[in-house]
Amino acid sequence: MEWADLVDFACDPRPGATLGLVSGQRRQGKTFLLEAVARAADGFYFDGHAAAEAETLHRLAERFGEHTRAAHPPRWQRWEDAVDALLALGDQHPTPVIIDNFPDLVGSSPALPSVIHGAYRRLHQVRRHNRARLILSGGTPSLMRRLFSGPSSLHRLASLELLVRPFDFREAARFWGIRSPRLAVQVYAVVGGTPAYRGDLVCDDTPTDPHDFDAWVCRTVLNPRVPLFWEARNLLAEENHADRALSHSALVAIAAGRSTPGEIADGIGVQLTDVSHVLAVLQKRGLLHAEPDAFRPALTRYRIAEPLLAFEHAVAWPHRAAIEQDDAANVWQSARATFDSAVAAPCFAQLCRDWATAYAGSETFEGEPETAARGAASGAAGHTRLDVDVAVRGNVDGRPGVLLSVGLTRWNETMDIHHLERLRHALSVLGTSGEDVSGAVPACYSGIGFGPELRAAEARGEVLLVDVARLYHSE
């Protein structure tokens, strides 16, 4: 999808210079895509990095001279001259002009967005035939938008805003070459869908089969000699907020199962205002997702967006000293149960929610799924809270937000009829509280399998059953 969008933008034959913004978290493959587009369309690519303006202009001129095969590179003293020359590459035909890591350049040249805006204004006035396709890349979407807000209004010129996302769970399994669905969930719970982790950080070391998973963890993510071991720290080291220690504590609390701001604050013993600030910063950086409770929209629940951070703070963080002393095997033996309950199980639950909205067939639910979230169904005062792992809402006959399904997920447990009874009770409680449950399908999602009574209920059309094979290979 990202490749097609970039190629369409770079090769657009219509007259007029255009601007594209490409963003995404680190190691998602932005640079790989941009370099490939530059090669495919004979475009110009420049990898910016933090440096003094004069040094950057010198490097840019050297690269420009190589691209144009000039006898001598230009001597640019100002960004105005450099930007005009770069955009002039599109005078004859559509030409992608790609500047990667753009925010690093703005750090030493704050006026650069305004310079680009001025160059576009001149082009649109006097050289409307120009077909430069300038692509600026780097950072999260919020960071890129912030660079182009205010007086420059550069964001209004952008005809492409592309977010390079991690692979989803099915794409990740194919990328890692994993055929076993259960193994695919386990690996995804460690490395998620970040493509660079396989090549750059573990040197293409992949688990050969489900029996190799434990050994793979010990020789990669719990191995201080492998770059993946340090990556979770690097994700937070890049943040500039004042209290990094509080961020670590908040992530530990979330990895332990606390999801609301109040639960997180109580878990780490700090004021709600302090933890709310840290949660907002981590969310802004794309490291946390904030989602409304399925049944109480005013209640926000947080989950860790990057699986490697969840693994780090549930498994590795408490045992860092032992791991760094080459005791990974013993650490993993003692932490394996924590991995299953605090890392793999929540990851599996999220994959089930993703399946419900992205892969479930058109006949799976009595409506078009739009959202899937976790929530707590509460009945009369004093009654036990009923947690629902997968509450699917969607459109039914033009009515949005209709409850289509309530589901439970169990990663390491064979599900049976008592799970269905629990879902039926939850539906009864929700119906009593005013929720329309007339078309809601009970659903059980298991990483192990289902008992005979539950299979019999499925045959009678009373419950939807989803195992890991269906999660990865079926609707």
DSSP 331-351: HHHHHHHHIIIIIIHHHHHHH
pLDDT for the residue numbered 157: 82
Q: Are 278 and 291 in contact (CB under 8 A)?
A: no
Residue count (the chain): 475
pLDDT beneath 70: ranges in the chain: 140-143, 145, 148-155, 238-242, 379-384
Q: Residue 138 in contact with residue 144, Cβ under 8 Å?
A: yes
pLDDT recorded at residue 243 = 72
Question: CB–CB of 133/96 below 8 Å?
Answer: yes
pLDDT at 2: 84
| 383 SS3 class | coil
Rounded to whole angstroms, how far apart are CA atoms 447 and 341? 12
Question: 436: which DSSP letter?
Answer: -
* Tens-place pLDDT, residues 173-211: 999 999 999 999 999 999 999 998 998 899 999 999 999
Query: How far is it, in rounded angstroms, from Cα 334 to Cα 344?
Result: 16
Q: What is the pLDDT of residues 59-100, one digit of tens each?
A: 999 999 999 999 999 999 999 999 999 999 999 999 999 999
User: Given 3-state DSSP classes, what are the helix, strand and coil percentages for the chain, each rounded to the nearest 5?
Assistant: 50, 15, 30
Give 96: exposed, middle or buried? Use CB within 10 Å, 0-12, 13-18, 19+: buried
CA–CA dist 282, 250 (Å, integer): 10
Contact assessment for residue 255 and residue 313, using Cβ atoms and an 8 Å cutoff: yes
The per-residue pLDDT for 418 is: 97
